[in-house]
Amino acid sequence: MRGLIEKDLRLTLVRKQTLLIFLVMALFMSVSMDGSFIIGYLTMLSTIIAIGTISYDEYDNGFPFLMTLPFARKTYVIEKYIFSFLIAAAAWCVGTILFFIVNVIRHNTMNPAEELPVLIAILPALYLAAAFMIPLQLKYGAEKSRIILFILFGLIAVAITGSKTVMTGSKNPLAGLAKLLDSLSPWAVLSAIVAICFLISLICCLWSIKIVENKEY
């Protein structure tokens, strides 16, 4: 496991110039835009970069050689999920630090107890993109998996737009649920989000393991 993580970290650092450009862009964006946007931007970007290591593994028929090394195929999949989370968490930390620095510079008054649960929720919510993308890329390859993911995001966007229309209608069937959510503390909502995201990620991980174990290299 440690060797696989080191391999992926070295593959990621090969693109250090690209990473530096993204970081500089993030600095400018954190100054010119809403600070919370930069957290989501860096977290999402980091998950895409982390999953890109699968393409490096596939390059030049690398999978057949990689699978001859002394580790289980299940270990390979679990490492991808752990590595993606570590990279996303590191990017989230950088984005959060920038967020608070920018707010201090702008003299914005904020309550960390209220802001922190919302900021933390960004990490598990965006990590779901990696959880979905790993099995798709293992199954269909990089290009097809991106198309499928864009379609899924489009459907989610349509569903969210539709739910807003329902929620703001004169006859709101979910008024009771909305009122219940408003009455909960931010930390309780965050705990529910983390639990749901963990469960979905676990299902995606088991799906990825099944794909890799049944695949011929």
DSSP 77-143: HHHHHHHHHHHHHHHHHHHHHHHHHHHHHTT----HHHHHHHHHHHHHHHHHHHHHHHHHHHHH-HH
Which pLDDT does position 202 carry in this prediction? 93
Tens of pLDDT, residue by residue over 118-167, are 888 888 888 888 888 888 888 877 666 667 666 766 666 665 565 555 55
- For the whole model, what pTM was predicted? 0.79
pLDDT band at 195 (very low <50, low <70, confident <90, very high): very high
Which pLDDT does position 106 carry in this prediction? 72
Looking at per-residue pLDDT, the higher value among 75 and 35 belongs to 75
Report the run of H or E that residue 60 belongs to, with start and end.
none
Which pLDDT does position 85 carry in this prediction? 92
Which pLDDT does position 155 carry in this prediction? 65
Burial 36-56 (b: 16+ CB within 10 A, else e): bebbbbbbbbbbebbbbbbeb
For residue 2, pLDDT beyond 90: no
Tens of pLDDT, residue by residue over 64-118, are 777 788 888 889 899 999 999 999 999 899 888 888 887 777 777 766 667 788 8
pLDDT band at 199 (very low <50, low <70, confident <90, very high): very high
Which pLDDT does position 112 carry in this prediction? 66
Which pLDDT does position 21 carry in this prediction? 76
Which pLDDT does position 159 carry in this prediction? 58
| Average pLDDT rounded to a whole number, residues 168-172 | 53
Looking at per-residue pLDDT, the higher value among 175 and 56 belongs to 56
